[in-house]
């Protein structure tokens, strides 16, 4: 008695209901304290606009670690120091993805910050993952049946099932001006072995 191994794959598009955006504030000054003060003003401006113009709850606005470094560049074998740089990140969670474009429009008017592409996800990600797993098993079983029939064998019991890949990955933004990236997908690949 022999066996047959096949791979099963499934990709399920999630309907996103949550977006995460990273905003990075940066300021440079001759003195570290002044750079930190300027950076703090930027952070407070971002937070005030998010709360006052978009009614974002404070629990959905997280500030990251403050970092301070020397702002310098290397040119023709020389080090040129521009001053002291202070940086801090803000992690914004939106529970209504319709707010992405208005929030981007507001934030893009603030000089001195960088805004990441939104990372979309779903509060029901586990449900989508389970659906993809079932579809991957179904795909593998279908392939195994076709191969067994083509070889003139009868497909027997399952010997093993193992994950090859199990991840949710967001696609990059489409070309052109887009505030909202394509919907994230859950992708599952498995390997199954059957007796024949």
| pLDDT tens profile 101-137 | 999 999 999 999 999 989 888 989 899 999 999 999 9
Q: Give the distance, in angstroms, between the CA of residue 88 and the centroid of all CA atoms in the same chain.
A: 20
How far is the C-alpha of 184 from the C-alpha of 121, rounded, in Å? 7
Which phi and psi (to 5°) does residue 144 adopt? -60, -40
| pLDDT tens profile 16-47 | 999 999 999 999 999 999 999 999 999 999 99
CA neighbours closer than 13 Å in the CB half-sphere of residue 112: 20
How far is the C-alpha of 109 from the C-alpha of 52, rounded, in Å? 15
pLDDT of residue 173: 36
| pLDDT tens profile 55-103 | 999 999 999 888 988 887 777 778 787 889 999 999 999 999 999 999 9
Q: Could you tell me the two tokens for 108? A: 């893009």
Mean pLDDT of all residues in the chain? Answer: 87
Decide: helix, strand or coil at residue 19.
strand
pLDDT of residue 170: 36
Most confident of 37-46, 76-85, 159-168, 180-189: 37-46
Tell me the whole-structure pTM to 2 decimals: 0.68
Considering only residues 175 and 193, tell me which one the structure prediction assigns the higher pLDDT: 193
- Whether the pLDDT of residue 156 is over 60: the answer is yes
Strands 67-75 and 78-94 come out as antiparallel
The per-residue DSSP string of 114-167 comes to: EEPPPEEE-TTHHHHHHHHHHHHHHHHHHHHHHHHHHTT-----EEEEEEEEEE
pLDDT of residue 181: 63
Sequence-separated contacts (24+) of 154-157 with Cβ below 8 Å: 154/196, 155/4, 155/194, 155/195, 155/196, 156/1, 156/194, 156/195, 156/196, 157/194, 157/195
């Amino acid at each position: 008695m022999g066996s047959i191994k096949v791979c099963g794959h499934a990709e399920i598009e999630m309907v996103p209901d949550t977006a995460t955006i990273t905003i990075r504030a940066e300021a440079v000054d001759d003195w570290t304290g002044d750079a930190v003060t300027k950076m703090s003003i930027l952070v407070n401006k971002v937070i005030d606009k998010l709360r006052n113009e978009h009614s974002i709850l404070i629990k959905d606005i997280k500030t990251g670690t403050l970092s301070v470094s020397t702002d310098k560049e290397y040119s023709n074998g020389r080090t040129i120091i521009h001053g002291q740089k202070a940086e801090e990140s803000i992690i914004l969670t939106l529970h209504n993805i319709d707010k992405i474009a208005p929030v981007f429009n507001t934030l893009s008017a603030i000089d001195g910050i960088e805004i990441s592409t939104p990372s979309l996800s779903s509060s029901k990600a586990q449900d989508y993952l389970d659906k993809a797993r079932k579809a991957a098993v179904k795909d593998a079983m279908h392939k195994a049946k076709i191969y067994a029939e083509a070889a003139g064998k009868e497909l027997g019991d399952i010997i093993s099932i193992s994950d090859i890949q199990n991840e949710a990955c967001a696609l990059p933004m489409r070309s052109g001006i887009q505030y909202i990236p394509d919907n994230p997908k859950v992708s599952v690949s498995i390997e199954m072995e059957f007796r024949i």
